[in-house]
Amino acid sequence: MEHELPSFKSWKSLVKRRNNAQEGGKSSWKMKPIVALMCTVLLIFWYKTTNIQYEQTEIEETDYPFEMAKESEPVSGKLKGLPFGIIQPRSDLELKPLWSSSSSRSKGGELTNRNLLAMPVGLKQKDNVDAIVQKFLPANFTVILFHYDGNMDQWWDLEWSSKAIHIVAHNQTKWWFAKRFLHPDIVSIYDYVFLWDEDLGVENFNPQRYLRIVKSAGLEISQPALHPNSTEVHHRITVRSRTKLFHRRVYDSRGNMKCSNASEGPPCTGFVEGMAPVFSRSAWFCTWNLIQNDLVHGWGMDMKLGYCAQGDRSKKVGIVDREYIFHQGIQTLGGSGYPEKKNSARSGVSRRRGSATFDSRTEIRRQSTWELQTFKERWNRAVEEDKNWVDRSSSTRNRIGNNRRLKRSSSVIPSLV
């Protein structure tokens, strides 16, 4: 069978199809830069949107870290019976009226008190507590008083008493109250928590000016400096410097504890004492978890508070000199309302138990010493058991860095030889 040659028309149509294919390829090459540009624009838009969402999440976590933690966790099986939107994981210590006007109801729950003052108080220190509270209430502080002597009814004659929260538990310490009534979910609305003793003179202290200094210095944990003539000064770092606005370290060559520029830990730097600490919201979240439920005197905690400073304790912990207090050193919990004297019988701290003399102050000191040793043992055991924990203190970082440099130099020397 003879093969017929394609006609002229068929050759023409074949050439036309090939030309169209070539033109389509050229046009697709022309479209590629446009497609690439569109993809780049979409990628930039996606990156910007993701970055904004991340920054917003960080801001919300900073403002309400406990609420965000709750929301990010899966709903417990005990809450499955509730719609998610009705769950409120936070509370506060704000007093609410039994009724309100329609105008105030329309405004909603606006919170004006963003800082908290919490103090253990006894009736013998009533005048001093009155002076402290009157400094804080005008600065829109919420005030909570822990009555350790059981006498609460005799406080109602003070004008501000009905504006404060009163909690009564006989012969309990500041740290006992704080662990049970200042849970982070309850105090998360407050920017700063002042956990103070009752025997502090505040003639030279203004809370608003104090917080301005704390915020400008970036201090997460702080305390007002102590007047040099205070009755009790345990660490020189807490003593006021007349020439400074605030300070983060002390230089001292006297005694057993030498403090210099090389000192990188408490009580030379990164240290506040337990009498008048001030915590940021994040620092209090960490500190509350550090407080041991059964070790009520809190001895040893001041040396570890720097680990809750949300960063380098030598930078995030400080003493404010411009606003300072006077520590009177009056021990009233478990004893008399006056400074301890050598003659305990005359000061009223001793009492007879059977035929032997019982000194409550001595027993409290003995208990505190035992708690200090117990706290140290728990800390050391926890550090040893937690293999993932990293000590982020500057001294440890320097030690790790030195070890790494030594390893590098030891590996380089043989190669040079």
pLDDT in tens, 379-406: 999 999 999 999 877 555 444 444 444 4
pLDDT (tens digit, 9 = 90+) per residue, 23-52?
Answer: 555 555 566 777 778 878 788 877 776 666
Mean pLDDT of 356-368: 80
Mean pLDDT of 120-136: 95
Query: Three-state SS string across the chain, please?
Result: CCCCCCCHHHHHHHHHHHHHHHHHHHHHHHHHHHHHHHHHHHHHHHHHHHHHHHHHHHHHHHHCHHHHHHHHCCCCHHHCCCCHHHCCCCCCCCCCCCCCCHHHHHHCCCCCCCEEEEEEECHHHHHHHHHHHHHHHHHCEEEEEEECCCCCHHHCCCCCHHHCEEEECCCCCHHHHHHHHCCHHHHCCCCEEEECCCCEECCCCCHHHHHHHHHHHCCCEEEEEECCCCCCCCCHHHECCCCCCEECECCECCCCCCECCCCCCCCCECCCCCCCCEEEHHHHHHHHHHCCCCCCCCCCHHHCHHHHCCCCHHHHEEEEEEEEEEECCCCCCCCCCCCCCCCHHHHCCEEEECCEEEEHHHHHHHHHHHHHHHHHHHHHHHHHHCCCCCCCCHHHHHHHHHHHHHHHHHHHHHHHC
Residue 340 has pLDDT above 50, yes or no: no
Residue 356 has pLDDT above 80, yes or no: no
Best CA proximity match to 320, nearest among 235, 239, 231: 239
First to last CA, the chain: 90
**Burial of residue 327, with CB atoms counted within 10 A of its CB: 0-12 exposed, 13-18 middle, 19 or more buried:** buried
Mean pLDDT of 345-359: 51
Residue 89 has pLDDT above 60, yes or no: yes
Whether residue 294 contacts residue 160, with contact meaning beta carbons closer than 8 Å, is answered with no
Alpha-carbon torsion, ordered 75, 80, 85, 87, to 10 deg: -70
Instruction: Write down all domains in the chain, each with its CATH number in brackets.
Output: 115-327 (3.90.550.10)
pLDDT (tens digit, 9 = 90+) per residue, 228-269?
Answer: 988 878 888 999 999 999 999 999 877 677 888 888 889 999
| Per-residue confidence band for 69, with pLDDT thresholds at 50, 70 and 90 | very low
Q: What is the pTM of this model?
A: 0.72
Residue 329 has pLDDT above 50, yes or no: yes
